[in-house]
């Protein structure tokens, strides 16, 4: 089971960032004080992320580095080989957190095989911690029940004001897992939401900062993606923003179950 706050409260997401853009973004974030960088095999940017970490001058042991295994490499030996490849690309001996990116589509690969392989990779020293991403209630319960599942520390899921994901967040936390929230800004949609704009005005903040503060206040680690240093700095500052109970409730009412990350191989969602 998870200990408290293994995962830094805020990190930099690198989805869709490539080549020099991701190098510049990661270096800027690290210079500003970020210490969590989130990537994935399918993002095709592990090598430049590793280059950015090297160029940053920040000691490796100060950085919490996450990557994710794609579902075409879930067979036991292939999963371990894929994480060896990720570490080579990232130019690190091990990552701090290795995640199963999505449940195996249609449960083609037995969960016991790929969770077991993920734990074997941890035991081999390829990852300090392991976890899952985009797991439903049923997938999560199964993952925790198979050998190796006791070492899972997080479920990384989509969370933003338009998709509060309350049941899954609370279930994950009740099981002792930390929750990592991706797309916390709903790919920029939060910027034009009237309630968020009003609350932001009351705090001399931005709607993005209000959205991040709301997610973080639920004891969820946030990993917004940003390429601009001024936005990265503002995202960091959002963690210092305190929302009132009334403001929290107003934001809660924005939840309409709007899911952005919903590919055709996604599992059957709980809600």
Residue with tokens 């989509």: 158
Q: What's the confidence (pLDDT) of residue 4?
A: 60
Per-residue pLDDT of 93-111, as tens digits, reads 999 999 999 999 999 999 9
| Domains by residue range for the chain, with CATH | 12-183 (3.20.20.100)
Please determine, for residue 115, whether its predicted confidence score (pLDDT) is greater than 70.
Answer: yes
**Cβ atoms within 10 Å of 264's Cβ, excluding its own:** 5
Assign 3-class secondary structure to 148-180: CHHHEEEEEEECECCECCHHHHHHHHHCCCEEE
Per-residue pLDDT of 1-54, as tens digits, reads 434 689 999 999 999 999 999 999 999 999 999 999 999 999 999 999 999 999
How far is Cα 45 from Cα 1, in angstroms, rounded to an integer? Answer: 30
Identify the active-site residue in 15, 34, 43, 182. Answer: 43
Contact 155, 133 (CB under 8 A): yes
Check if 43 is active-site.
yes
**Cα–Cα separations (whole angstroms), residue 61 to 53, 54, 94, 231:** 11, 12, 11, 26
């Amino acid at each position: 089971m998870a200990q408290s706050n293994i995962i830094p409260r805020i990190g930099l997401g690198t989805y869709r960032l490539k080549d020099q853009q991701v190098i510049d973004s990661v270096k800027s974030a690290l210079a500003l004080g970020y210490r969590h960088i989130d990537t994935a095999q399918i993002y095709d940017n592990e090598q430049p992320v590793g280059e950015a970490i090297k160029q940053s001058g920040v000691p490796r042991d100060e950085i919490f580095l996450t990557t994710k295994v794609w579902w075409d490499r879930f067979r036991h030996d292939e999963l371990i080989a894929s994480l060896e490849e990720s570490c080579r690309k990232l130019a690190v001996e091990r990552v701090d957190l290795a995640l199963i990116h999505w449940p195996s589509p249609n449960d083609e690969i037995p969960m016991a095989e790929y969770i077991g392989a993920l734990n074997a990779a941890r035991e081999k020293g390829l990852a300090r911690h392991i976890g899952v991403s985009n797991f439903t209630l049923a997938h999560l319960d199964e993952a925790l029940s198979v050998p190796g599942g006791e070492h899972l520390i997080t479920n990384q899921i989509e969370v933003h004001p338009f998709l509060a994901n309350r049941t899954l967040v609370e279930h994950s936390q009740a099981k002792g897992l930390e929750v990592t929230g991706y797309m916390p800004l709903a790919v920029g949609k939060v910027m034009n939401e009237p309630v968020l704009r009003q609350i932001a005005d009351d705090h001399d903040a931005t709607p993005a900062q209000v959205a991040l503060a709301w997610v973080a206040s639920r004891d969820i680690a946030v990993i917004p993606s940003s390429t601009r240093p001024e936005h990265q700095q503002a995202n960091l500052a959002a963690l210092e923003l305190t929302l009132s109970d009334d403001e929290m409730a107003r934001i809660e009412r924005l939840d309409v179950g709007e899911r952005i990350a919903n590919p055709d191989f996604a599992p059957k969602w709980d809600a």
